Structure formats: C-alpha cells, structure tokens
Structure 1
Amino acid sequence: MNRNEITTLLKFVNKTRILFNKTVSNQIIDADWRIFSYVISNHFENKLCTTTSIIQVSGLPFATGLRKVNRLIKVKKLIKRPKTKSGKSFSIHPSGELIKEFTEYLLLIKNEFASQLGFNEIDNNFYFGTSLSAGNIIPAPTVITNQSKKFKKIRFLSNDNPTFKVIQNNLNFFEYIFDCKIELTIESDLKKLLNKIITNSLSNSKSKFDIVAFNIPWIGQLVNLNCLTPLDKHVESIGLNLNDFHYSGIRSSSFNKKLFGIPIEAIQDLLFYRQDIFQKHNIKPPVNFEELFSACKALKNISEIESPISWPARKGQPLATSFILAMANFGKPYINLRYIGDNIYDLDSEKISLKANFLSEAAFNAAKMLKELVSYSPNNISSHSNDECVEYYSQGKSAMVLNWSSRAHLFELNKGSPAFNKTSYLPRPAGHPSFQVSPIGGFSLGIPFNTSDEKIPFIMRNIRKFVSPEIIKYYIEHGSLSSPVFSVVNDPEVRALSPIFNEIDKMEKDEKFVEWARYPLPTYSNIIEEVGNRIFNYLFLNENLNSTLESCQATAQKYLK
C-alpha cells in the first residue's frame, strides 16, 4: 500500500471508532489508539507532533498523558527527534516498528474488505476507497432522471483535449443523457482559454459559463484571482466519492487545502517506447538518462525509424515544460519547495520565502541533457509541440517519445499505426536515483466564482455525471485514453483497450506521480512562457548556458516578488 491508501484506510477506521463512541455508552478512553493513529497520520502527511499535541489528542489528563508518552518512548513505539542543537526542543515521531505494525494492521483490514467485495486476498488491483464497480464491467451510461425543472442548459468552457473532443463529437448523446442543452465552447489555445476563464470570472456580471475546464497548473493563479468556487461542501452534498479518484489528481485540484476542481482528465507525462524495436535490437528500456542515451545511440542508425526520440521542444510553454520536468527528474522543482524525503516535496509554499531554482545543479544538468537529446531528435524538433511529436511517433518515425498519456490514442486506437499494440510505458527517466517520476497533468472541472448560488447544486449534479465511471468509460471508448478514477481502469473491457491503463495504475500505486514538478504558482504561466523562450535560445541559437540560466532566474524572480 502507498501512503495515500494508508491515509484513506486510517481515516476510515478513525470514523468507525468515532461512530462507536457516539452510539455506545463507553467511559473508557482509547488513548493508545488515539495516540498511534495521530502520530501515524501526521507521519504520512509530513506533519510534526509534539508532546503537548499528543497529550491533547489522547484525551488523558496532562500528567497521565505525559507518563503515557514517556512510556511509549521507552518501549520504542515513539521516538524523539531534536529540533535544535541543544536538544531541548524536539518532535515526536512513530518508530519504524510502530509504522510496520500499524501498516500490517491496516493491510489486514484492506484484505478483509477486498475479500467481501469478491477480490482475491492477494489481488493488487484492489485499491481501498474505489467504487464498488471496481473490477466489474461498468455498464453503459444511464440518463439523468431528476434533472432541474428550472435550469435547462449547461454552459461549458474547455480546451480541445481528447476528452472534450469526445463530448463535442457526440453532443447529441450527451444532451440525451443529461436531459438538458449543453452549450460547449472549445478554445484550443491554452493562453486564450486561461484569459477567457479569468475575464469571465472577474466581470461584474454573472458568469457566462457554468463549468470551466482548467489546466491543473493554473489553479494557483485562478484561486489567487478569486476565479473559482470552493467545492468541498458541495462535493459532500452530492455524495461524490473522492476516494475513487487518483489521489494525485485530487491534490492537484486543490489549493491552500481547499478543493476547487473535480478531475475529468488525469494524465501523466511518460516515456512511450516501441517494445518490438527494443526487443529486436536487445535494448534495455531506460529508467534513467544514462540508459536513455545508451538506447538513443543504439537506435541512431537502425533502418526502421528516422530518429530515436521525439519530445516537445517548441519555443515557449512546450519547451519550458520539458525543461522543468527534466529538472524534476534531476531532483529539483523549479522553485525552492521544502524537501521532505524520497521523491517528496512539501506543497505548502507559505512556509518559505520563494526563490527560483534555475541556478541549481539540477537546472544545469537538465539543460545539458536536453541539448544532447536534440542530436537524437527529428531535424525539425524545434517546431514540435505535444501533438507533433506524438504524431511523429505514431507514424513509426521514432522509437521513443516523451509526452502526456492522453495522446496515446493516436496509436493505441489506430490499427494503421506501426506503434499499435507495440508500445510500452515508463515514468520519465531519472537524473537522480530517487526521481524516476512523472508529473500529474490534465484538466479539472471548476465553477466560476461569480456563478449564482441558486444554480450551483444543478451544476454540481452535472459535474458528478461528467466524471462518473460510466461516462469516463464512454470517453475512453471514443478516443480519450485517460481516467481519473480507479474503478474505470479496473474494468476488464477498459484494460483490454490498451496496456497504458495497467501501467499507469501500477505507477500511481508505486507513487511515481508528483504534483510539485509543475507547482501551481499564481504566476506559473508567466514564468513558463518566458523560460521557454530563453531555453530555446540556448538549445537552438547557441546562447551561453550560464547566461541563459541567469536570465531564467532573473525572470522568475521578477514574478515571485
């Protein structure tokens, strides 16, 4: 189990104990459970515990609680870690033994649930919190029967990603299912889409749109400008099961601990590679950049392809994204978030004075890596955005591509593609051993802040339908290889469509997806656009690397003030 599933299980068990105490008269204070669950939960959420906070949560009188804490430290269930050089100030943490015992206990509970739902005890496909349809064939979409009598239209603003193209191309079907008119506005230019969302929300009049699909890294800017409605209380009112969603998607749709969007398209930036070509030439699938370049050298002169690899290198946002994702693989986000351990950075930027990381060793190594990668790429790589480089791969012209998982439909659902049924997937290669990771991306559905309160329940019921398992499956069957929920990727019919679902599901559970690589600063889009222009000059116009990175740093700092 990964930390997200452990946290979900722990919250569930805590709720059952609270319900017991509420309904059954019981004078005994369950201090051990309260203490253990508190320190374990804080450990997995990267929060510190103190002696005082533990005593408070235990429910015991202070002196009794202090003796209890000291005894648990003595028997090595808890450990002290000094916070200062003197050692007078310290934090309390669960010991390795307690973490192991507690995890085994939660695993037993999970296995019992899995067994009752028809899963084999050792079936790794069961993820606690998923929809009850997980592992079963999800039926075709059913019509909404309790649609509002007052509101008869949903006004929807989105971009032209595969999911939204499915809605656009099958609008009559969706209007039949939703029992209302759907007014879909498609804006393919991401900069224009962002501006439309902002302009609409900041107008003095009521919103022109009921639902806006926003790119995940924009959430900081949109929340900062007061463009989105917080959704936490509305999610509860419609009974939406957030535990069925990939945890990384929910975290990426939240800002300052509030939920502002519901994921409709959760995608990851992955390495796609032709397994048939790799097997034929006895090439090892690359898990780090050293192995990536070894593969490129082996593929350089083979006859089956034109270039070993393709990737987004077009000036501006596409190239900047490639650059900051490479920085992440070398172990650093583009700003100085607090490092916690393994491949985890603290997403709470309020605790630090923000500075850009473009003068770091990771930035230097990322730029040098991209420079070398150009020599193994198509001659016109500088004009490749996401669509062009995946199209190049789907035509059989490259053996690898770095890109977002949603675009795999270009070859996975195209029997005429040389890559059809011959592609395997990996997280992005590591530059640092702990950072074979991929960012979470995609779009979430939000409600503009200037929406009428009266209409929000109607909108939320429709959002719930747009992200329901049966509708997500419909998107997939019609060309969008993306699912933000576990229950859909466990459907045997969905898994049969493409190996990408099994691979992504495994990567999610192995915690290979991170949100910090494209941390959603309020000025993210400004920084990215300018950094992409400057890195382009280094890669293709031979500008000096040091001066390029200094320029990137100065530009970013300008927007961080």
Structure 2
Amino acid sequence: MNDQEFLRIIEFIESTRAPFNLEIPGMSQDSDWAITSYLVTARLQEKDVSISDLIRVSGLTYGTAHRRINGLIEQGLIDVAPASPTGKSHSLRPSEKLLDAFRSLVSHVKSLVATLVGQRDDSQNSDQYYFGEPRGFIERSLPPTDLPTSHGGATRRLRFLFHDDNYFAALRNLWIDFRANAGRSEDFQLTPMQEMYETALSNGARDESEFDIITLNYPWLAEFAQKDLIAPLDIDVRELSSNLGDFHPAALECVTYADRLFGLPLYVTVESLLARRDIFEENALPYPTTLKELLAVARRLHRPKRGQYGLAWNGAKGMPIASAFMFLLNAHGGAVIAHDEPGTGIRSRRSRPQGTRCCLDEKPAHATLAFMQQLLAVSPPDTLAFDWEDSLAEFMSGHAALCYAWSMRAARLELDLQSKVKGKIKILPHPNLLGVRRSVPLGGFVLAVPRNLPPARAALAQQAIRWMTSSEAMKSSAKYDLPIAPRFSVNSDPDLKVVSMLVSFVDDMARNGLICNSMRPLTPVYTHIEEILGVEIHNALCGLTSHENALSSAHERIQAVLDSVLSQP
C-alpha cells in the first residue's frame, strides 16, 4: 500500500466518523482518534507536528489534552524528537507501533469496503487491489467490467510488463481498483528500463508469451517490429473513428513501422532546459537560446565555492551520456544517421540507402564532443557519473543554475516537499546553433502486443490497450503522477494545466511541431547505437582516448552495424 492510498483510507474513515458528532446532539469528539490520525497523516505528508498542534486538534481543554498526549507518549505510541539544533523545541511523530496499528486498521477497512461493494473473490487479500478515488471521479476511468470475459467466455486475467515508475503504478492501481474486478497486483511486473528491454526480448523467444501487453521505450519499437516480436494493431490509421489524430504526431510516428501501427503511445516525456528564474533575474541575465549563450551563462553562474554549479546534465556511461550526445549533436545541426542524401539528388560514391549512413565523421559530431568537454568545466564534479535522477537532485537541492531534465522527473521540482526550487523555475527548449526553431527531444513509452500470443489473448490485449490509452484513463493517471499524455484532448484539460506548468509547456511544443522524435534515430539498430555511443563518448570525456579516436571508433562500429543489418536488399 502506498502513502497516497494510506491517506485516502484515513480520509474515508474520518468521513464516516464525522457525521456522528454533527448529527447527534451532545456527543463529544473522540480525542484519541483526532490526535493519532492527525499525527499519522502529518507523517505521511512529511509535516512537522508540535504539541500545540495536537492540543488544538484534540478537542480537549489544554490541561486534559496535555495529560492525554503524555499518556500516549508513555504507551510508546508517540515519539518525541528535537526540532532544533539547540534541543529547546521538539516535534512529535507517530511511533512504529502506532504506524503498524494504523496499517492494520486501514487494511481491515479496505477489505471490509471491498467485501461490501467490490464484488471480488479476493476481498480479504487487500494487497491484490487498490482503494481508488471517490466514485464520482473514478467511474469514468475504470477499465470495462466485462473486459476479462469479453473474449472466449472464460475469465482470464491479463499479464503486463510495465516500466517501474509512478505513472505505470497509477495505471496498475486503476486496473486493480476493488470496483473494477479486472485484475490483481501480481498480474503486473514493473521493472527498470534495461531489465524491461531484456525481459521483452526474451519473452519474444518463448513459444507462448508470458505477457499479454508489454511496454517499450519509443526508440525500441522499430527493432521489435523488424524482428517480428510484436504484432500490428487491428486499427485502420485512415479511419476517423480510430481518433488517432488526437495523439501527438511525433509520438504516433514512433509507433508506426512499415506503414503499420505496432502500438499506441501511453505517455510522453520531453527533455527541456530548466533555468533558475530567481538567479537569472538577480543577475539580469537573458535566458540562453544558442549554444554559445548557454556556455557563456553557465560560466557566469558557475560558483563552486558557493555550492552553485553552472549546469547539471546526464553524463553517466551508457544510456545517459549517449542520449546527451545525440541531443547536443542535433543542436549542432548534425545527426548520427543521415536520413536524406545532401545535394541535388546525385548519389556520391559513399551514398547508401536512406537511413543507413553514419555521420559521426562530419564536423557537427566533432563540434558536439568539444562542446561537451567545455560543459564539464561548468558542471558538478561528478557529472560523468550522473544519470537523470542525479542531475535532477543536484538542481532540486539548489546547487545548479541550469539543468537538462526530462519532464516526467521534473514534476518533482514543483511537487516534492524537499524541493528548494519550487516556484523558481523557467522551462526552456534546447538551445541550438542559431537560436531559432528550438525543439525538445521526445521520450516515453508505448504499449504493444507480443506476436507470440494466441488469437483470443491478442484480441483481449488490443482491447485493453485501447482503454489504457484512452483520454479518460490518461486523465485519471496524469492528474496525480504527471508524465504528459500524448493526446491533445488530455493536455488541454484546464485542471491538468493548473497542476503543473510542464503540461502547458509540452502541449505548446507539440502544437507548434517542436517535439522531435529523430534526435535518437528511429531505426531497428537503435540499441546498438546507444550502446556504442555510451562507451565511446564517455571514454573520450574521461580522457581515456582522444576525441578523434572515439568518434572514429564509434563511426566505424555504427556503420558496420548499419551495413550488416539494414543494407541488405
């Protein structure tokens, strides 16, 4: 049970107790419930509680409340901790004994409610379902009640391979909500990115798929489609009834291979440049639009002796630095793979079929690597070990003036109680050479159906994907967990725009065609490219090899992969 669900059940219990005092004259407040529920709620919300706070909510006179609180402390239900370095003030917290008792209480209430209204055969096993939103909000968002039995007659629960993040956890919780009667938590396998890729590959080698629905990172889809590991969806892209036009075009292109639809976008995340608005205003500095301006302002704001660095970015070996290189290469006007032959159409000796020529032997690649070397001088000292979480943490703690960050993680800057930059952020597209038509790279996930599913399971999986990518399901998940839905109708919801400025930023970029899905090339050999760049670029910036040798090696290795896999007739 997560903290959000824990809080929701405490609120539900409180809502059932409140009418007793309101409707029946002469009744006194239950002070023990008031004190302990307030303490547990504050703990879950990471708020400090003083003894004055507990006296206020207890409903008792000052002396009586003080004695009752001391009694709860003596019983080991409340812990007392120093609230200041001097030890003169104290904060009160629920003890583990009290927290365990509340966990038992909410589990019992959850099971009781599910038994009464959930119509589930596993109502007493509270870990297998989710206590969701109030009915008025949730009933439009739950999966269809007949989905598990809509094909083949017999009930069969679906199995899912999901990425391990908040959005997928929220989607799982909708599916296992006790009113949905659709599935259990054990039907979902949530895994880290690399493990998810390896599991999806190995699943494709089985005689029959273990999973009904798998999740793919956008750049992986071409590989899985080419290897015949996923099946095309039974959706005619030309039919208006399919409502595909509501999806962001950049996301929809990522799920199309050989003119067929092999999945549906579930959510998008974009990498933007985050700037500390307060620092820029204090120093009367304009926000950077070109790469030259980015480097200059990062130098100006780089004050390591004061614990402030110019720019935080993702330089760890592997996927983080490979992505950073490809994004900055695009900003320099280059690309890893040439998609169109330059010139007037006359093919040169080095011409290859479209999408099969590596370009790391050209000037933009060398300029990009040199630029990254310069960035290290205005970055935190551990940048070459930073992944996305590390760089965001550096920025969130107030130690960087600028940061490259993905929107799915950047939501924490406004919502996390530990954030020191809340309300101080300006979101910017990537600076580039000329400072015009600045775009952001696309990331996110797609839902797909494994090829090795029997027809009845495949039909059921396609129906489930349609529901999970519907605007109703996306709104319910995005409202609280804040990746960005790849549908215009969802992001135009004013309630979501109020929750986070990220929603408006991404929606504006999408409507202006400035979300780019080709910075990381859409090719069946993408994972090979990422692996090669993740090593070679990191070695160069660590000083283990020269820039020239790193790019030459990367170019030759990537070209060999392109020639062996894609140049065949």
Deviation at 1:214, TM superposition (A): 0.1
**Which residue of 2 is the match for residue 201 of structure 1?**
204
Tell me how far apart the structure 2 counterparts of residues 238 and 403 of structure 1 sit (CA, whole Å): 36
**Which residue of 2 is the match for residue 141 of structure 1?**
141
**Which residue of 2 is the match for residue 331 of structure 1?**
333
CA change 1:143–1:314 in 2 (3 A) is closer
Deviations 1:389-442 (A, max 9, x none): 112212222121112211112212124412222222121111245562222111
Deviations 1:305-339 (A, max 9, x none): 52121111001121011001111111122111117
Deviations 1:491-517 (A, max 9, x none): 111000111111111111222112221
Q: Is the 8 A contact 2:322 2:537 kept in 1?
A: yes
Q: Is the 8 A contact 1:139 1:470 kept in 2?
A: no
Tell me how far apart the structure 2 counterparts of residues 539 and 227 of structure 1 sit (CA, whole Å): 36
- Quick one: which amino acid aligns to residue 273 of structure 1? A
Deviation at 1:302, TM superposition (A): 8.2
**Which residue of 1 is the match for residue 165 of structure 2?**
161
Deviation at 1:142, TM superposition (A): 4.2
CA change 1:143–1:462 in 2 (3 A) is closer
CA change 1:281–1:179 in 2 (3 A) is same
Deviation at 1:244, TM superposition (A): 1.2
**Which residue of 1 is the match for residue 52 of structure 2?**
none
Secondary structure of 1:141's match? coil
Tell me how far apart the structure 2 counterparts of residues 215 and 162 of structure 1 sit (CA, whole Å): 16
Secondary structure of 1:367's match? helix
Tell me how far apart the structure 2 counterparts of residues 235 and 451 of structure 1 sit (CA, whole Å): 23
TM-score (norm. length: structure 2): 0.68
Tell me how far apart the structure 1 counterparts of residues 246 and 276 of structure 2 sit (CA, whole Å): 31
Q: Which moved more, 1:550-559 or 1:533-542?
A: 533-542
Secondary structure of 1:323's match? helix
**Match of residue 311, structure 2, among 309, 312, 315:** 309
Q: Is the 8 A contact 2:270 2:407 kept in 1?
A: yes
Deviations 1:27-73 (A, max 9, x none): xxxxxxxxxxxxxxxxxxxxxxxxxxxxxxxxxxxxxxxxxxxxxxx
Deviation at 1:172, TM superposition (A): 3.6
**Which residue of 2 is the match for residue 180 of structure 1?**
183
Q: Is the 8 A contact 1:275 1:423 kept in 2?
A: yes
**Which residue of 1 is the match for residue 472 of structure 2?**
470
- Quick one: which amino acid aligns to residue 169 of structure 2? K
Deviation at 1:170, TM superposition (A): 6.4
Tell me how far apart the structure 1 counterparts of residues 435 and 539 of structure 2 sit (CA, whole Å): 29
Secondary structure of 2:519's match? helix
**Which residue of 2 is the match for residue 382 of structure 1?**
384
CA change 1:434–1:554 in 2 (3 A) is farther
Structure 2 counterparts to residues 506-521 of structure 1, below 5 A:
506-521=508-523
Deviations 1:352-384 (A, max 9, x none): 261111111111111111111111111111111
Secondary structure of 2:337's match? coil
Tell me how far apart the structure 2 counterparts of residues 264 and 339 of structure 1 sit (CA, whole Å): 33
Q: Is the 8 A contact 1:310 1:377 kept in 2?
A: yes
Tell me how far apart the structure 1 counterparts of residues 397 and 155 of structure 2 sit (CA, whole Å): 46
- Quick one: which amino acid aligns to residue 332 of structure 1? G
**Which residue of 2 is the match for residue 552 of structure 1?**
554
Tell me how far apart the structure 2 counterparts of residues 304 and 476 of structure 1 sit (CA, whole Å): 38
Deviations 1:454-503 (A, max 9, x none): 22332222112212223222222332332111111111110001111111
- In angstroms, what is the RMSD of aligned CA positions? 2.7
CA change 1:139–1:418 in 2 (3 A) is farther
TM-score (norm. length: structure 1): 0.69
- Quick one: which amino acid aligns to residue 163 of structure 2? N
Deviation at 1:165, TM superposition (A): 3.2
**Match of residue 255, structure 1, among 248, 257, 262:** 257
Q: Is the 8 A contact 1:391 1:410 kept in 2?
A: no
Deviations 1:208-243 (A, max 9, x none): 101101001111211111111111537899954211
CA change 1:542–1:202 in 2 (3 A) is closer
Uncovered stretches (5+) of structure 1, i.e. residues with no partner: 1-136, 342-348
**Which residue of 1 is the match for residue 363 of structure 2?**
361
CA change 1:170–1:390 in 2 (3 A) is farther
Q: Is the 8 A contact 2:251 2:265 kept in 1?
A: yes
Secondary structure of 2:266's match? strand
Q: Is the 8 A contact 2:231 2:450 kept in 1?
A: yes
**Which residue of 2 is the match for residue 294 of structure 1?**
296
Deviation at 1:176, TM superposition (A): 3.6
Tell me how far apart the structure 2 counterparts of residues 488 and 139 of structure 1 sit (CA, whole Å): 17
**Which residue of 1 is the match for residue 485 of structure 2?**
483
Tell me how far apart the structure 2 counterparts of residues 358 and 178 of structure 1 sit (CA, whole Å): 53
Q: Is the 8 A contact 2:432 2:438 kept in 1?
A: yes
Uncovered stretches (5+) of structure 2, i.e. residues with no partner: 1-136, 344-350, 564-569
Deviation at 1:171, TM superposition (A): 6.2
**Which residue of 2 is the match for residue 346 of structure 1?**
none
Q: Is the 8 A contact 1:153 1:180 kept in 2?
A: yes
Tell me how far apart the structure 1 counterparts of residues 405 and 212 of structure 2 sit (CA, whole Å): 31
**Which residue of 1 is the match for residue 38 of structure 2?**
none
**Which residue of 2 is the match for residue 215 of structure 1?**
217
Is 1:461 equivalent to 2:470 in the alignment? Answer: no
CA change 1:418–1:388 in 2 (3 A) is same
Tell me how far apart the structure 2 counterparts of residues 213 and 516 of structure 1 sit (CA, whole Å): 20
Tell me how far apart the structure 1 counterparts of residues 236 and 158 of structure 2 sit (CA, whole Å): 17
CA change 1:421–1:481 in 2 (3 A) is farther
Tell me how far apart the structure 2 counterparts of residues 177 and 234 of structure 1 sit (CA, whole Å): 29
Deviations 1:66-89 (A, max 9, x none): xxxxxxxxxxxxxxxxxxxxxxxx
Deviations 1:442-462 (A, max 9, x none): 100000011121223322221
**Which residue of 2 is the match for residue 527 of structure 1?**
529
Tell me how far apart the structure 2 counterparts of residues 258 and 171 of structure 1 sit (CA, whole Å): 28
CA change 1:168–1:409 in 2 (3 A) is farther
Tell me how far apart the structure 2 counterparts of residues 553 and 506 of structure 1 sit (CA, whole Å): 36
Structure ID, larger Rg: 2
Tell me how far apart the structure 2 counterparts of residues 499 and 377 of structure 1 sit (CA, whole Å): 26
Tell me how far apart the structure 2 counterparts of residues 307 and 538 of structure 1 sit (CA, whole Å): 22
Secondary structure of 1:154's match? coil
Tell me how far apart the structure 2 counterparts of residues 420 and 291 of structure 1 sit (CA, whole Å): 25
Q: Which moved more, 1:298-307 or 1:502-511?
A: 298-307
Higher relative contact order (CA 8 A, sep 6+): 1
Tell me how far apart the structure 2 counterparts of residues 321 and 560 of structure 1 sit (CA, whole Å): 19
Is 1:540 equivalent to 2:536 in the alignment? Answer: no
Q: Is the 8 A contact 2:341 2:354 kept in 1?
A: no
Q: Is the 8 A contact 1:324 1:518 kept in 2?
A: yes
